[in-house]
Amino acid sequence: MRRWLAAVSITMASVLALAACGGGGGGAGQPAQSPAASGGGKQQVEVFSWWTGPGEADGLQAMRKIFEEKNPNYTFFDAAVAGGSGDKAKALLQSKLQAGTPPDTFQGHAGAELQGYIKAGNLEDLTPLYDELKLKDVFPAQLIEQISVDGKIYSVPVNIHRSNVLWFNPSVLKDAGVAAAPKTIEEFIAALEKVKAKGKIPLSIGSEWTVTHLMESVLLGTLGADAYNALFKPGADWTGPQVTTALQNFAKIMEYVGDPQDDWQPAAKQVADGDAAFNIMGDWAYGYFHNPPEGGLGKTSKQDFDWAPSPGTEGTYLWLSDSFTLPKGAKNRDGAMAWLKVAASKEGQDAFNPLKGSIPARKDADQALYTDYLADALKDWSSDKLAGSIQHGVAVNQPWLAAINEAVGLYIGSKDVKALQQGLADAATANAQ
């Protein structure tokens, strides 16, 4: 009998424990547990980003200072998740959104990358905010056009990065007899050949995503801005002879790449160290080259490294941008709006960008704050045509990008240009809207 009792009681205890687990899980989802409730009168605004590295985290802190000065009744809650390009942050964000507990505002690449969130109904339309602050007058018209979805805008771009930058080592070029940075794809291939003859790495490369990054520059350099932008419109033709030529150029250039490095930094470092002549990487590489050790390599610009628009793309700014959004169901919607206003303001952008190593999306930035590479970038941004980056979420949405990365990854193994073009064409048909 005693054995019986013991068995029953243990069973009951376990069942109760199970029930308690279930109850606990439900409770955590309720807004009563939100951090906004605590803080003694001050309301918390949860800002979700992946800015934790040197430079970018400093920029975020500078914007936070302005936000807290302007909004004394809000406190800033930094919900940053480490990891370059937001890989890990995005996975966490996904689970937060699915659980119905979004942060008050989150970072995302402006453009098509946000489409998934928009389609799933996670984001609020920010067009009223744009009208209130007259943002359509201060952001370039092409930028507004490229981030609009069905005439609505869902995010506030804070900064602009450039993807089509050719970084090079001036002394390696001199040794190889290359007089200046190549301006066309043909010149580029000729220069790569000269460097190869000298026994240096002609073009350094990192992991597979940096190959997609290289490909977008070659596509733009071969097709020109208009034909490139047309590739991302519904019904675009990826099977045509122009794209074939572009991909053949890409294949030719890929013959000159060095051994793949672990990521973009070691690839960029090969240029800074004089092992390699060229590297095509976004302008975040500038901070890596230029910043003092710990955060960067402490190199001297124009002497240890130099830059030019990637071959064939002069006059076009292949852009990407970090932006902030307003998720539906944000606990502190007013606080999030206050943050978006700071992020959109001239003051906020001028505080953030010089530290992050990017230029502001606004046209009316204080030019004196941007020196060296950033001065060039700012000048080009105001005059160049715009084209959206593939790898960094402007031109294509996430599933489309995954399909493109797959086609490029398979190409690296097979070297089959025809299969690459077919893969890209299939990716476009499956994902273009």
Partner 1 sequence: MRRARTWLPGLLLVTPSIVLIGVFVYGMLGWNFRVAMTDQHDAVSEGRFVGLENFVEIWDLPRWHLSVNHAIMFTIVFVLGALVLGWLLAFLMEKGIRGEGTFRAIYLFPMAISFVATGIVWRWLMNSGTGERAVGLNRLFDWIGLPQWQWFRDPDWGMAAMAIPAVWQMSGYVMALFLAGFRGVPEELREAARVDGCGEWGVYRHVVLPLLRPVTLSALIILGHISLKVFDLIVAVSGKQIITDVPAVFMWVAVFDSNDPAKGATIASYIVLSVAVFVIPYLIWSVRKERRS
Site string for partner 1, 120-149 (x = CB under 8 A): x-----------------------------
Stretch near partner 1 under the rule CB under 8 A, chosen from 105-113, 116-124, 220-228, 283-291: 116-124
Q: Which is nearer to partner 1, 163 or 210 (CB)?
A: 210
Q: Which amino acid is at 294?
A: E
Q: Which is nearer to partner 1, 3 or 134 (CB)?
A: 3
- Give the residues across from 159 on adjacent strands: 360
Q: Which is nearer to partner 1, 8 or 28 (CB)?
A: 8
Nearest distance from C-beta of residue 326 to partner 1, angstroms: 20
What span, in angstroms and rounded, lies between the C-alpha atoms of 192 and 255?
A: 10
Neighbours of 53 (CB within 10 A): 17
Site string for partner 1, 7-46 (x = CB under 8 A): xx-xx--xx--x----------------------------
**Contact in structure between 423 and 430 (CB atoms under 8 Å):** no
List the interface residues with partner 1, window 72-111 (CB under 8 A). Answer: 90-91, 94
66, 92, 149, 412: which one contacts partner 1 (CB under 8 A)?
412
244, 409, 417, 425: which one contacts partner 1 (CB under 8 A)?
409
List the interface residues with partner 1, window 167-196 (CB under 8 A). Answer: none
Inter-axis angle of helices 264-272 and 208-223, to 10 degrees? 70
Note whether 398 binds partner 1 by CB under 8 A.
yes
Nearest distance from C-beta of residue 402 to partner 1, angstroms: 4
CA distances from 422 to 103, 186, 212, 406 (A): 40, 25, 16, 12
List the interface residues with partner 1, window 247-276 (CB under 8 A). Answer: 259-262, 270, 275
Note whether 294 binds partner 1 by CB under 8 A.
no
Q: Which is nearer to partner 1, 10 or 190 (CB)?
A: 10
What span, in angstroms and rounded, lies between the C-alpha atoms of 394 and 163?
A: 11
| Site size for partner 1 (CB under 8 A) | 36
Nearest distance from C-beta of residue 296 to partner 1, angstroms: 20
- Give the residues across from 123 on adjacent strands: 327
Nearest distance from C-beta of residue 58 to partner 1, angstroms: 27
User: Which residues contact partner 1 by CB under 8 A?
Assistant: 3-4, 6-8, 10-11, 14-15, 18, 90-91, 94, 116, 119-120, 207-208, 259-262, 270, 275, 398-399, 401-403, 405-406, 409-410, 412-413, 419
